[in-house]
Amino acid sequence: MSRSEAIESDVDLAYQAKLNGLEWPPFETRPAHDRVIRVALAASGKNKALTVSIRVKGPVGISDARAVADGEAARVVNKLAVVLNEPIGDPVRISEGWTIRGADGPQHHHVTSGSRVGVRAGGEAWVIRGPRAVEDLVIELEQVDLPDCDAELFRTLLSVDEVVAKFLALYVVIAGRLGDNRQRDVDDFIRTEYERKGQPVAESTPVRGDGRPGKSETVYTRLRNQIAHDRGVPLESTRAEMSQNMRGLIDLVKACLRDHPSARNVQ
pLDDT at 160: 96
pLDDT at 43: 92
Cα gap 153→149, rounded to integer Å: 6
Cα gap 221→126, rounded to integer Å: 32
Long-range contacts of 151-157 (CB under 8 A, 24+ apart): 151/75, 151/78, 151/79, 151/81, 151/82, 152/74, 152/78, 152/266, 153/257, 153/262, 154/78, 154/81, 154/82, 154/253, 154/254, 154/257, 155/77, 155/78, 155/81, 155/82, 155/87, 155/88, 157/250, 157/253
DSSP string, 168-192: HHHHHHHHHHTSS--HHHHHHHHHH
pLDDT at 164: 98
Burial class of residue 143 (count of CB atoms within 10 Å of its CB; 0-12, 13-18, 19+):
exposed
Per-residue pLDDT of the chain (267 residues; tens, 9 = 90+): 445 567 788 999 999 999 988 888 899 999 999 999 999 999 988 888 999 999 999 899 989 999 999 999 999 999 999 999 999 999 999 999 987 665 565 566 666 665 444 333 334 444 454 444 788 888 999 999 899 999 999 999 999 999 999 999 999 999 999 987 789 999 999 999 999 999 999 988 876 655 567 789 999 999 999 999 888 899 999 999 999 999 999 999 999 999 999 876 544
pLDDT at 133: 76
pLDDT at 240: 98
pLDDT at 115: 45
pLDDT at 76: 97
pLDDT at 105: 57
pLDDT at 121: 35
Question: pTM (2 decimals)?
Answer: 0.83
